[in-house]
């Protein structure tokens, strides 16, 4: 492809580096909960700009912004009413440009979230579809069907609970795999395809470096024959021909997008949120498709050496098979924060825990986490797991607040909750609000420095001690640990390889990177003694807990630098 578009050179960003993403540390910002510049209770784009010095000091390579587009917030912004604009409550396009320039000037790339499976019900297209009536071209952009008598077309269940069909005023039903306010688009429709290309170009032309693709495995559907029941759908193999999930033909869409990405210098990147069988991940991660895919397996793993080693080994092989690099995720805006997951008693989990909203959240059932949560242990393990992951080859996706060691906020009143998963499950699923509470920047003040007034989700009292201000100058804080790890990561990163060193203990993992850096994680509770040669030849560059000479304490990680 010709290099039609080249963004204006901005200091700090190397336009010739087409592989920056392969081992990047990418920090996820959930904009409504990051920093609130106009103090209306909701975080905004100028708030992000005001915190660029913080992000630069943290030492990340890129930020990924969850949706900031106009939205009625039926699903925290994943119900997009206008893909090429900024929600007026969050700022303007000019504010976006200012933020982008400030991030780029500090060498931080910007990835934005694209939500192509569904729009908001307030999107003009959906409003047109409702007005235009059955059989119209406007309705063909979505998935409308006649019901069976007064019943929906099928018994399909939405991923957020309840029926996946909602009735329009004229009696037809539309499909929504998520909330009622998120009608699924029809990807067989040419307007839909053309419009997303326009959106990708719109943000790429503004200088955005990459895209995170929401529910990348569900866009295309084959609903041509008689519609199956939910039980029949569940029983069908997911091998590329399933009517609604992980169809091979979705990669025709991504091949078109790839041509768009590659028409920029450097090529725009993309990472797929694809909840598919591991064997099918390389299809999304291949250079002809999106180029990288999230690996969510550590979200489902316990703090357990055997599970971590298996996940690392298998995912490095997988990434190699697709010529991509792998990704590591311990927390994001959909799951219980990892400090809390690791501080809870071992959960009972079943194989069908994979769907996105379930992992973790069911551990919070009945009464919240507080009675059972061992906060100190959770944090100790989280710090160890984070250092383990930050030493690995591949890119690390960090979620805002994990650098503060934040725990989940479990005690939110029902009346203050926002997540549709809570409401559609009649409160059975506590939902995802607990990891989306606005960040504490200062030790006190009306919203702990998030803004100068209230925050849109209630912050607990303990946020003060976890704030940036409280941790900033503390050598032992989690913030200091992340800053040091992210700075050293550039030294530690080498070829995307690692070698496992046997430790003689099932609960201790030890890997070495090609340039000699070593990472030792003790998942158990009894101290692990380093070998004589490790003690002689390497020295501890960083440790997640206080480290007695020559030893790795329980539930801790050390990074050893070659002499």
Of the candidate residues 144, 156, 178, 284, the single one contacting ligand NOJ (CB under 6 A): 178
Could you give the CA distance from residue 306 to residue 326 in angstroms, rounded to a whole number? 19
Tell me the residue number closest to ligand NOJ, measured at CB: 78
Residues 186, 211, 253, CA angle at the centre, nearest 5°? 35
The two structure tokens encoding residue 555: 């539930």
Could you give the CA distance from residue 20 to residue 109 in angstroms, rounded to a whole number? 9
Q: Label residue 204 exposed, middle or buried (CB < 10 Å: 0-12, 13-18, 19+).
A: buried
Rounded to the nearest whole angstrom, what is the least distance from the CB of residue 333 to ligand NOJ in the complex?
Answer: 6
Rounded to the nearest whole angstrom, what is the least distance from the CB of residue 178 to ligand NOJ in the complex?
Answer: 5
Q: Which is nearer to ligand NOJ, 80 or 396 (CB)?
A: 80
SS3 131: helix
Dihedral of alpha carbons 190, 195, 196, 197, sign: positive
Query: Which candidate, 68, 186, 67, 180, places its Cα nearest to that of 122?
Result: 180
Of the candidate residues 215, 369, 486, 509, the single one contacting ligand NOJ (CB under 6 A): 215
Q: Residues 342-361 vs ligand NOJ: string with x where CB under 6 A?
A: --------------x-----
Residues 32, 87, 142, CA angle at the centre, nearest 5°? 105
Rounded to the nearest whole angstrom, what is the least distance from the CB of residue 504 to ligand NOJ in the complex?
Answer: 41
Rounded to the nearest whole angstrom, what is the least distance from the CB of residue 268 to ligand NOJ in the complex?
Answer: 20
Rounded to the nearest whole angstrom, what is the least distance from the CB of residue 310 to ligand NOJ in the complex?
Answer: 25
How many residues does this entry show for the chain? 563
Rounded to the nearest whole angstrom, what is the least distance from the CB of residue 330 to ligand NOJ in the complex?
Answer: 15
Q: Which is nearer to ligand NOJ, 48 or 80 (CB)?
A: 80
SS3 189: coil
Q: Which is nearer to ligand NOJ, 335 or 339 (CB)?
A: 335
Could you give the CA distance from residue 237 to residue 234 in angstroms, rounded to a whole number? 8
Considering only residues 500 to 559 of the shown chain, the ones binding ligand NOJ according to CB under 6 A are: none
Of the candidate residues 36, 214, 362, 555, the single one contacting ligand NOJ (CB under 6 A): 214
The DSSP element (H or E) to which 331 belongs, if any, is none
115 lies in the site for ligand NOJ, by CB under 6 A: yes
430 lies in the site for ligand NOJ, by CB under 6 A: no
Q: Residues 64-93 vs ligand NOJ: string with x where CB under 6 A?
A: -----------x--x---------------
184 lies in the site for ligand NOJ, by CB under 6 A: no
Rounded to the nearest whole angstrom, what is the least distance from the CB of residue 380 to ligand NOJ in the complex?
Answer: 28
Which value, to the nearest 10 degrees, does the dihedral of the CA atoms of residues 259, 214, 138, 172 take?
Answer: 150
Considering only residues 446 to 475 of the shown chain, the ones binding ligand NOJ according to CB under 6 A are: none
Alpha helices in 286-353 (DSSP H): 297-300, 305-321, 338-341
Can you give the binding site for ligand NOJ, defined by CB under 6 A? Answer: 75, 78, 115, 178, 214-215, 273, 333-334, 356
């Amino acid at each position: 492809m010709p290099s039609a578009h080249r963004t204006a050179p901005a200091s700090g960003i190397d336009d010739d580096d087409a592989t920056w993403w392969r081992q990047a540390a990418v920090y996820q910002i959930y904009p409504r909960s990051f920093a609130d510049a106009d103090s209306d209770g909701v975080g905004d784009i100028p708030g992000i700009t005001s915190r660029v010095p913080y992000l630069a000091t943290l030492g990340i390579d890129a930020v990924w912004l969850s949706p900031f587009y106009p939205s009625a917030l039926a699903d925290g912004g994943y119900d997009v009413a206008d893909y090429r604009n900024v929600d007026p409550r969050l700022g303007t396009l000019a504010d976006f440009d200012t933020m982008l320039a400030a991030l780029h000037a500090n060498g931080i790339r910007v990835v934005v979230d694209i939500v192509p499976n569904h729009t908001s019900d307030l999107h003009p297209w959906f409003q047109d579809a409702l007005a235009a009536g059955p059989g119209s071209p406007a309705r063909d952009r979505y998935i409308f069907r006649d019901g069976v008598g007064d019943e929906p077309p099928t018994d399909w269940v939405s991923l957020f609970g309840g029926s996946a069909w909602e009735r329009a005023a004229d009696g037809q039903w539309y499909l929504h795999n998520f909330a009622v306010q998120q009608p699924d688009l029809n990807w067989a429709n040419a307007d839909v395809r053309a419009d997303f290309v326009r959106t990708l170009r719109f943000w790429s032309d503004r200088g955005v470096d990459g895209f995170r693709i929401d529910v990348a495995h569900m866009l295309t559907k084959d609903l041509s024959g008689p519609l199956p029941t939910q039980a029949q759908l569940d029983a069908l193999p997911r091998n590329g021909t399933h009517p609604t999930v992980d169809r091979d033909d979705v990669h025709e869409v991504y091949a078109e997008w790839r041509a768009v990405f590659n028409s920029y210098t450097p090529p725009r990147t993309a990472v797929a949120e694809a909840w598919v069988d591991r064997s099918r991940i390389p299809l999304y991660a291949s250079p002809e498709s999106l180029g990288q895919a999230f690996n969510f397996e550590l979200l489902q793993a316990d703090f357990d050496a055997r599970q971590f080693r298996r996940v690392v080994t298998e995912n490095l092989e997988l990434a190699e098979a697709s010529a991509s690099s792998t990704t590591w995720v311990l927390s994001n805006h959909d799951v219980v924060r990892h400090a809390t997951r690791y501080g809870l008693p071992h959960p009972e989990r079943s194989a069908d825990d994979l769907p996105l909203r379930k992992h973790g959240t069911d551990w919070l059932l009945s009464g919240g986490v507080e009675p059972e949560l061992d906060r100190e242990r959770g944090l100790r393990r989280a710090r160890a797991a984070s250092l383990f992951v930050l030493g690995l080859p591949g890119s690390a996706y960090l979620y805002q607040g994990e650098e503060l060691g934040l725990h989940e906020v479990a005690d939110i009143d029902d009346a203050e909750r926002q997540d549709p998963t809570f409401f559609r499950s009649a409160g059975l699923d506590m939902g995802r609000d607990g990891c989306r509470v606005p960040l504490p920047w200062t030790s006190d003040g009306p919203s702990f420095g998030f803004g100068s007034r209230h925050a849109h989700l209630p912050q607990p009292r303990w946020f003060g001690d976890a704030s940036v201000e409280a941790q900033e100058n503390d050598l032992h804080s989690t913030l200091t640990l992340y800053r040091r790890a992210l700075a050293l990561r550039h030294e530690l990163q080498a070829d995307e390889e690692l070698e496992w060193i046997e430790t003689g203990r099932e609960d201790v993992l030890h890997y070495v990177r090609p340039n000699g850096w070593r990472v030792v994680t003790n998942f158990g509770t009894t101290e692990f003694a380093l070998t004589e040669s490790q003690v002689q030849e390497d020295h501890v560059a960083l440790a997640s807990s206080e480290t007695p000479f020559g030893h790795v304490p329980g539930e801790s990680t050390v990074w050893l630098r070659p002499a």
